[in-house]
């Protein structure tokens, strides 16, 4: 099993098989537009623009489980991401990343990449790096700015010898 076995509802309500991203390096992030870490949207967008032609995508999954920092509906979330932060990478419908209603993709990611204090997600902007073969290879904490691990992304994008 890998991330390509999952699908997700887009921010506009359509169903998106993650198999459509097969062969790409992915950075999957639980986001919140009212979070103190929301300025990371700019770095996520920068990475997306820099590497998308090489087979890289950022996938944003809004979540309201942490201090009610994503209270709006899908339209409000999309508008805030696009207008306030300049996001053009794919956005998905609001999900739960912990608890009884955890999205299956995030249950898988949590299990594959336990964090410092176990598998649960501690806050918004937890980032999961996924290799071209759909394997979750690394989890980054909310406090880790996306540009700090740019070299890891670039390494996964290198052609295999």
CA dihedral 8, 105, 57, 71 (to 10 degrees): 70
Given the residues 3, 32, 35, 77, the one annotated as active site: 35
Judge whether 63 counts as a catalytic residue.
no
Residue 88 CA: distances (Å) to CA of 11, 92, 101, 120, 123: 12, 12, 28, 28, 23
Strands 25-31 and 56-62: parallel
Q: State the catalytic residues.
A: 35
């Amino acid at each position: 099993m890998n991330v390509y076995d999952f699908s997700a509802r887009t921010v506009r309500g359509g169903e998106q098989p993650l198999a459509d991203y097969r062969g790409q390096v992915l950075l999957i992030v639980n986001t919140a537009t009212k979070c103190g870490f929301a300025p990371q949207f700019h770095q996520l967008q920068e990475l997306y623009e820099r590497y998308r032609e090489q087979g890289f995508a950022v996938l944003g999954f809004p979540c309201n489980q942490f201090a009610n920092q994503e209270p709006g509906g899908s339209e409000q979330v999309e508008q805030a991401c696009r207008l306030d932060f300049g996001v053009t990478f794919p956005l998905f419908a609001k999900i739960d990343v912990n608890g009884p209603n955890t999205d299956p993709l995030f249950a898988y990611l949590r299990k594959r990449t336990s964090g410092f204090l176990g598998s649960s997600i501690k806050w918004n902007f937890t980032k999961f790096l996924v290799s071209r073969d759909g394997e979750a290879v690394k989890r980054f904490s909310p406090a880790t700015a996306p540009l700090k691990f740019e070299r890891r992304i670039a390494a996964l994008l290198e052609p295999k010898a």
